[in-house]
Amino acid sequence: MLTIDLSGKRAFVAGVADDAGFGFAIAKALASAGASVCVGTWPPALGIFETLLRRGKLDKSRRLSGGGMLEFEAIYPLDAEYDSLEEVPAELRAEKRYRDRGDFSIDGLAQRLRDDFGEPCLDIVVHSLANGPEVTKPLLETSRKGYLAAVGASAYSFVSLVQRLQPLMRDEGSFLALSYLASQGVVAEYGGGMASAKAALESDARMLAFEVGRRWGHRVNVISAGPYASRAATAIGFIHKMIKYYELNAPLRDALRGDEVGNAAAFLCSSLASGITGTVLYVDKGYHAMATPADVEGLVDKLTAD
């Protein structure tokens, strides 16, 4: 029987702060396949995340399908907007949620992994990070600062992770990032430069696939996931409308589940996908294949009535 086996592999998942997002679902799937899992958490969310884990509030979500619990081998503070601690403004380093966390930059993360596990120590790196401070603004109203912040936090952070964690990767390593269909077409309320950031992320992944593939034999892929009501997505404000729209128009009409994205990630990071790199895998119930709404007549009737 063909199975996904990640036994003996160590994964690092950047962007896990609760049990409601794709990062957690991916971490859980990787652990279910036998991998040990470390995660990186944004410092302002880290204290709450640690408290939830300590008090058992996430125990139900941590249960694995084959028995046992998702255990994190390590949880690291990570603010992926900064490549090194020297770049962090002094006032941010002095904030309560940052000041006792040590080096929370990407450089600091790489050094902590070296200190804890030696070198090389990683087989899988997952980038589940995105942030756009002006995401609720139309692109026409987005400032240069907001636009560049979105691209830096959501796209360049993947490049930086690959740069700094590649030296820690064992043979046949796998890098994975998460994207969204707004990289390819218009999602009217997904503003602030976030669509541009996702397009950059996918383009960068293709270039990185070539560069790290030729140099070291590692693979780089992207999952473009459908809408999902994570806490971060819910904060944008229109996610439930998008979920309903997909249910009405996608070939598969049930709502996307986190474990479906997690299982796809486990496959892409496993030896079963050893011939796959530089690709964007759509896990969106097939919506990306649709050129028009499924119920065109109904939509026209509604627009006419309005």
Q: How does pLDDT run along the chain (306 residues), one tens digit per residue?
A: 789 999 999 999 999 999 999 999 999 999 999 999 999 999 999 999 999 999 999 999 999 988 899 999 999 999 999 999 999 999 999 999 999 999 999 999 999 999 999 999 999 999 999 999 999 999 999 999 999 999 999 999 999 999 999 999 999 999 999 999 999 999 888 899 999 999 999 999 999 999 999 999 999 999 999 998 766 655 566 778 888 888 889 999 999 999 999 999 999 999 999 999 999 999 999 999 998 888 766 655 654 565
pLDDT recorded at residue 293? 83
Distance (Å, whole) CA 102 – CA 109 = 10
178 - beta bridge partners? 223
Choices 3.40.50.720, 3.40.640.10, 3.40.50.300, 3.30.930.10: CATH for 10-305: 3.40.50.720
CA-nearest of 276, 258, 71, 83 to 178 is: 258
Burial (0-12, 13-18, 19+ Cβ within 10 Å), 99: exposed
Domain boundaries defined on the chain: 10-305
pLDDT recorded at residue 18? 95
pLDDT recorded at residue 301? 60
Record the pTM. Answer: 0.93
Q: Which one from 147, 156, 190, 228 is the annotated catalytic residue?
A: 190
Identify whether the C-beta of residue 6 lies closer than 8 Å to the C-beta of residue 20. Answer: no
pLDDT recorded at residue 241? 83
pLDDT recorded at residue 196? 97
> Is 156 noted as a catalytic residue in this protein?
no
CA-nearest of 261, 197, 191 to 20 is: 261
pLDDT recorded at residue 235? 58
Distance (Å, whole) CA 221 – CA 115 = 28
> Is 180 noted as a catalytic residue in this protein?
yes
Q: Which one from 180, 246, 282, 287 is the annotated catalytic residue?
A: 180
Report the sign of the C-alpha dihedral through residues 77, 81, 84, 85, in that order: negative
pLDDT recorded at residue 304? 57
pLDDT recorded at residue 306? 54
Residue labelled with tokens 């139900």: 60
